[in-house]
Chains A and B, each alone.
Chain A
Amino acid sequence: MFGFSRAQSIAFLVMIALIVICPYVLYPVFLMRILCMALFACAFNLMIGYVGLLSFGHAAFFGMGSYIAAWTMKHWHIDAVVAIALGGLTGAALGLVLGYLAIRRSGIYFAMITLALAQMVYFFCLEAPFTGGEDGIQQVPRGNLFGIFDLSNDMTMYWVVAIIFILGFLMVHRIIHSPFGQVLKGIRENEPRAISLGYRTDDYKLIAFVLSCLIAGVAGGTKALVFGIATLTDVHYATSGEVVLMTLLGGLGTVFGPIMGATVLVSMENYLAQFGAWVTVTQGVIFMVCVLAFRRGIIGEIGGYLRLAL
């Protein structure tokens, strides 16, 4: 099914079942936050897991998608899906520009350059009038879907977010398993070899980066509609760090890892929110434990134990 292995198909069906059952048991807004962050993490995983490039500035695309969706929704009163799509396109356009600059270097430098460029976007958002500076864009209406479904109802919104998430997830999966994705993996394993085989690796890397930013923008736009706000937090480098941590915790380069990582981290933030800066400390400790002892992540470890690629 969709190029899934048998084990992945089962995991996928379990995931779908959970997405359907959970809103009847848990608070839908909390679940929507998980889904948005999981989609964001899947987008990030496309770069680190399959191209081998660590982007430390993915919040720029997530945040810009969030700002644009919020702004268009609030001022143009357009359809929710159009606003989210505009958020995604903004992410992609920004990704094209920043990616063009960043892919000139690889490894550690790529991480530092994406971080620095994202910081530039952050300062831009701080100064630009349309973002509302420190206040952000508040009280964004959720609007309607196709003019029919009223999204101010949490359950209706939940199903829309769930469908966006599943489509995004399948898109990432499709990209990875396409011939294009195979070339990406080839570049990750041995870039000089890929070049000598005649692949223009920079083009491949840039396209992958733009696709990743597109999905990150969609995730940001969806998040803006769910919570009705877009703020500087969305473009802040701490958000970039968070998505790195989610993917690392779930398992770099695994199909379901980013989703698992997002679920664990969002839940943790939810329960630790009352303890202030202890959230940061806990995140830092998880980072260190993952790097030192647990580099395959949760899903990677489970997959390793079962001898399956999940």
Chain B
Amino acid sequence: MFMIFGIPGPLLFGQLLLGLINGAFYAMLSLGLAVIFGMLNIINFAHGALFMMGAFVSWMLLNYAGIGYFPSLILAPLIVGIFGLLLEKTIISRLYKLDHLYGLLLTFGLALVIEGLFRNAYGSSGMPYRIPAVLQGATNLGFMFMPNYRGWVVLAALVVCLSTWAIIEKTSLGATLRAATENAPMVQAFGVDVPRLITLTYAGGVALAAFAGVLAAPIYSVNPNMGTNFINTVFAVVVIGGMGSIMGSIVTGFALGVIEGLTKVFYPQASATVVFLVMVIVLLTRPRGLFGKAA
């Protein structure tokens, strides 16, 4: 067995991989938050609850309808996305003229309702979700054994994050979206249906959270609290990255996951708090966030 900094190599790489996986979820969730914030100017506190819903919908599809992992990777985000669409149309759209803080409060209430309902129906102990047969087992990479599913999560998250980035930065739809973020009335004057764009943006961000939820289902047990465990850290990630840039959210998400993983190797007691410590340092040195634009 070889050693790096006095740590066995497989242990180091194992924690690094775990860090990358957490980072993948941070990236997907903070990306969704950033996209929604850019367009709607609200912080979607229900993001964690919708992430949890994604995991639950895939569990329900499997157990009630016999629909497997791969179809539900498409279906669950679609279902939760439609739920988000309805939410935006019926409730959230009433808040745009108010102080941003009301959006935060409303979506916080929404998160409580969603989580409370799931806790009533399924308890809080959590249900297992089996890793699909194709992705079971592990691959020997030479320096470590990598469980196939974990590698798949990192890969899938990277592809989804980069596609989101490409759609927003490189397509004409994305250009319209960015324009509407800057100056909605002007874009509307050009004949773009901005309210519809806003609705679709919210649904898209929510679908992203649900997709992350499906990916998370086989790793963490499917339970009503899985979203809140993540979302508080994700808020710190968002503060660190600043919500100005899409690529910024992705990079910050993955980087913080890796930092967290490394802390687990060298000083396990601090692994839960290290992200918050990074946030403190960033606030002291660069209050608007690493990728944030000047206010």
Contacts and interface: CB of A to CB of B under 8 A. Distances in A.
Interface string B75-95: 000000000000000010011
B168 to A, nearest CB: 21
A90 to B, nearest CB: 19
Given A115-B232, A291-B102, A281 B117 contact: yes
Contacts of B269: 127
B172 interface: no
Interface in B50-101: 91, 94-95, 98, 100-101
B120 A287 contact: no
A101 interface: yes
Is chain B's binding surface mostly helix, strand, loop or mixed?
A: helix
A287 B108 contact: yes
A237 B120 contact: no
Interface string B111-142: 11111110110000000000000000000000
Interface in B127-178: none
B193 to A, nearest CB: 24
B91 A292 contact: yes
B115 A288 contact: no
A60 to B, nearest CB: 12
Nearest to A279: B116
Contacts of B43: 108, 111-112
Contacts of B233: 116, 119
Given A113-B239, A119-B236, A277 B273 contact: no
A277 B111 CA distance: 13
B232 A284 contact: no
Contact of A284 (B109, B273, B284, B287): B109
Nearest to A286: B109
A108 B272 contact: no
Contacts of B184: none
A307 interface: no
Interface residues of B, number: 42
Contacts of A248: 105
Interface in B255-277: 269, 272-273, 276-277
A244 interface: yes
A228 interface: no
Contacts of A72: none
Contact of B113 (A102, A119, A288, A295): A288
Interface in A83-120: 101-102, 104-105, 107-109, 111-113, 115-117, 119-120
Contact of A116 (B95, B102, B239, B272): B239
B11 interface: no
Given A54-B101, A237-B232, A283 B284 contact: no
A115 B235 contact: yes
B199 to A, nearest CB: 18
Contacts of B114: 284
A234 B94 CA distance: 33
B238 A287 contact: no
Nearest to A119: B232
A276 B110 CA distance: 18
B105 A277 contact: no
Contacts of A149: none
A119 B236 CA distance: 10
A111 B101 contact: yes
Contacts of B239: 105, 109, 112-113, 116
B112 A280 contact: yes
13 contacts: A112-B239, A117-B279, A120-B277, A126-B272, A237-B228, A276-B119, A277-B117, A277-B120, A280-B119, A284-B112, A290-B109, A292-B94, A295-B102
Given A108-B100, A123-B272, 20 more contacts: A101-B284, A104-B287, A105-B288, A108-B101, A116-B232, A116-B236, A117-B276, A119-B276, A123-B276, A126-B272, A127-B269, A237-B232, A283-B116, A284-B111, A284-B112, A290-B105, A291-B109, A292-B95, A295-B98, A295-B102
Please give me the 9 A-B residue pairs with the lowest Cβ-Cβ distance, nearest first.
Answer: A287-B109, A284-B112, A280-B116, A284-B113, A281-B116, A120-B276, A277-B119, A116-B236, A104-B287
Interface of B: 37, 43, 91, 94-95, 98, 100-102, 104-106, 108-117, 119-120, 228, 232-233, 235-236, 238-239, 269, 272-273, 276-277, 279-280, 283-284, 287-288
